[in-house]
Structure 1
Amino acid sequence: MRSPSAKCIAPTRRILVNGSYAPSLINFRGPLLRAMVEKGLEVHASAPDIPAEIADELAAIGVKAHSLPLQRTGRGLLGDIGYFRALRRLMRSIRPDCVLGYTVKPNIWGSIAAKVSGVRSYSWVTGLGYVFIEGDGLGRKATQFVARQLYRIATACNHKVIFQNPDDMADFIAHRCLADTSKTAMVNGSGVDTAHFSPAPLPDAPIFLLIARLLRSKGLAEYGDAVKLLKGRLPGGRFQLAGMLDEGPDAISQAELDALIASGIEYLGPLSDVRPAIAAASVYVLPSWREGTPRTVLEAMAMGRPIITNDVPGCRQTTVDGHNGLLVQPHDAQLLADAMERLGQDSAMRERMGQASLDRVREIYAVERVNAAMIDIMEIEAI
């Protein structure tokens, strides 16, 4: 049902979607962009350094791509100001009726640029991540302080601020990043294409898989320590890791990756298609410290995999302990190893929990449901 204010909003004919990583426009936002095109909108999308093949994929679904200068993990204010100016120029050029941002910098600078341009805007907080995970060091604390202040300015410009789980919304408000709590809205993650990620038979052997950007906050050290603890305890057990080395203060080094490999982890590298790796695994593991809604968990659930993840914001919403997986406390390799051993030794439990994952993802996280909720929140009508 529309809010009483919906009648005051002009029809949306042209929309700009801002991201911070070009492949995510296809891998994560492709179904939403396609749904917007199917509504009759003229859809534009921006990200830094969009390669020709991604621009072509976007064009194939009816989306115009725009490369903008953005340092995704940098802390330099001058670079961010350059990004803000580029957004302003783009908005003057295409004259959107509505702007949607996701991830920190597009949310902040895209929202402010939209306000200056007289355009309605929405921030999609797909995870709080580094800005809200407590840690040591003056540099980290300074970065967090500045980001939170900028978020408060940006959300004052937004029509709605959309969250993926109630923990993120509560913490966002508690840290004074949003003054007007009437602007909040909620969706169940980014959704997953349950036709693309279809069920696959479970292997007989206990094969564990973690897919993530190689960041400390994904729990990579705990995963490596758990693998060390499990040596000799799971006959036939294999432990795999896929993902790319990243940049920024939370990224692990090549030396740290080498140490994980030495601990007994099979490193699969970055994958353009994760489905074969998930199909070859019998348990999906994500010991992350915090998420919005972890997409890889949803993809593994859609393929019928039981989940082991942490009892932390974002992760706990996907997994019902003892039903479609096991929840463990963060930062505890022993508890993680115990959960992995429990599932690794019980193939019947893996089958039962894998089916429960499939049922749960179809009921709650199907991408069609999430896209419909996003379009409704943004008050977009078919043209």
Structure 2
Amino acid sequence: MPLKKQRIAIVGSIASTILGFRGDLIAELVAAGHQVFAFATDYNEQSRILVRTLGAIPVDYQLSRFGLNPITELKTTWQLYQLFKQHQISLSFCYFAKPVIYGTLAAWLAKVPLRVAKIEGLGRPFTENAEGMRKKARLVRAFQVWLFKRSLPKAHLVFFLNPEDKHDLIETHKIKVQKSDVLSGIGVHLERYAQVAAPVSPIRFIFVGRLLNEKGIRYFLTAAEALKKRYPNTEFIVLGEPDSGSYALSRQELQHYVDKQVIYYPGKVANVVPFLAQSSVFVLPTYYREGVPRSTQEAMAVGRAVITTDMPGCRQTVKHGENGFLVPPHDQEALEQAMLQFIQQPALIEQMGQKSREMAEKQFDVKQINAKIMQLLAELA
């Protein structure tokens, strides 16, 4: 039975995730006759046009992505409450931690009839660093759990991207939810990420992601420098923008590796597909609490072998020894040994890349994932 017509608020943080992560779902909801309002904090003229092209209405709101000022957070909740009332929202669909917490609370206060939350990884508060959890991080985690305990029970349905996140929140932290389900990932449009034969001469390793410590960028760069000395024909590509803040790789550090010709860094790119097509192996040595990394799903769809960490979310993307290798987080030697296997046995590139594509078709087809979401939303109504 299809979902009866709704006025749906898709509430995220920045416009790029509305377009990149929710675009296919929004298009399907609009095609089914629903009115979709896409909430983001940083719309510009171009992103507004792109959202309208999907058939949705862009809605601005204010959210401090990293701050914990209670007054600011209350203002965000109140603003969302007013916007839900103004647009007569009948179904809220909030994703990422802060929009889930404050958007779900606002929807409950506004008496939105159907409320859905989507946990796409537990993020920095649940990320263990190499030295263990610092006191401040433990406090932030405790506060976030406290907020989840007050917001998630007010959602009629909570989506997770991996079973470990679900277990940590529901079982370990005893957060009660009305109904939950585990999706296999955000999903990718397989036609847009068509399989392409991987080059083996030269072999190219590619990193795609935010240039943050937790994403493993420094581990990748250290491995690239070490392997480049031994195998000078091997190439290394880095895609992602330097961030600000203490957790990020600086532009100066990045430029050091560019100047030494260790890596190729093309700067900000609008389309990663050509770079994935030119690469041989995808590497993400993250120790961040991922949902299921979208960048890895894209690489798998293109048919790339994967090296990533044995962490929640990442485990869903690699069958060790079949489509790539799982390495322990923070283990520089294990990472370099995994990369070395592809250099010494280039036949693995095609063999494991083919397995990645098969896994992507089975697990990460956005059409199948969105069909499941639509079905579960219909069951709520």
TM-score, reference length from structure 1: 0.92
CA contact (8 A) 2:197 2:350 kept: no
CA contact (8 A) 1:148 1:177 kept: no
Is it true that 1:304 corresponds to 2:303 in the alignment? yes
| Partner Cα separation in structure 2 for residue 74 and residue 372 of structure 1 | 35
Pair 1:169–1:261, CA change in 2 (3 A) = farther
C-alpha offsets along residues 243-277 of structure 1, whole Å, 9 cap, x if unaligned?
A: 11234563333344345546723323222111111
More moved, 227-236 vs 275-284: 227-236
Match of 2:199?
A: 203
Count of paired positions: 374
Show structure 2 runs of 5+ residues with no match.
Answer: none
Alignment counterpart, residue 161 of structure 1, candidates 117, 142, 158: 158
| Partner Cα separation in structure 2 for residue 281 and residue 101 of structure 1 | 34
| Partner Cα separation in structure 2 for residue 162 and residue 133 of structure 1 | 20
In the TM superposition, 1:66-105 aligns within 5 A as: 66-105=59-98
Is it true that 1:224 corresponds to 2:218 in the alignment? no
SS at match of 1:123: strand
Pair 1:123–1:323, CA change in 2 (3 A) = same
CA contact (8 A) 1:210 1:242 kept: yes
| Partner Cα separation in structure 2 for residue 199 and residue 33 of structure 1 | 25
SS at match of 2:330: coil
CA contact (8 A) 1:234 1:341 kept: no
| Partner Cα separation in structure 1 for residue 111 and residue 121 of structure 2 | 27
Shift of 1:311: 1.1
Shift of 1:62: 0.7
Match of 1:113?
A: 106
CA contact (8 A) 1:243 1:268 kept: no
More moved, 49-58 vs 247-256: 247-256
Match of 2:121?
A: 127
CA contact (8 A) 1:217 1:288 kept: yes
Shift of 1:170: 1.1
Task: Kindly provide the amino acid, as one letter, of the partner of residue 86 in structure 2.
Answer: S
In the TM superposition, 1:277-288 aligns within 5 A as: 277-288=275-286
Match of 1:320?
A: 319
| Partner Cα separation in structure 1 for residue 248 and residue 146 of structure 2 | 24
CA contact (8 A) 1:234 1:345 kept: no
SS at match of 1:15: strand
CA contact (8 A) 1:206 1:345 kept: no
Alignment counterpart, residue 175 of structure 2, candidates 164, 173, 178: 178
Is it true that 1:378 corresponds to 2:380 in the alignment? no
C-alpha offsets along residues 37-92 of structure 1, whole Å, 9 cap, x if unaligned?
A: 11210111101021111111111121000111112223333322222121111101
Percent identity over paired residues: 32
Alignment counterpart, residue 215 of structure 1, candidates 212, 215, 236: 212
SS at match of 1:378: helix
> Root-mean-square deviation (CA), in Å?
2.1
Match of 2:264?
A: 266
SS at match of 2:378: coil
Shift of 1:139: 2.5
SS at match of 2:266: strand
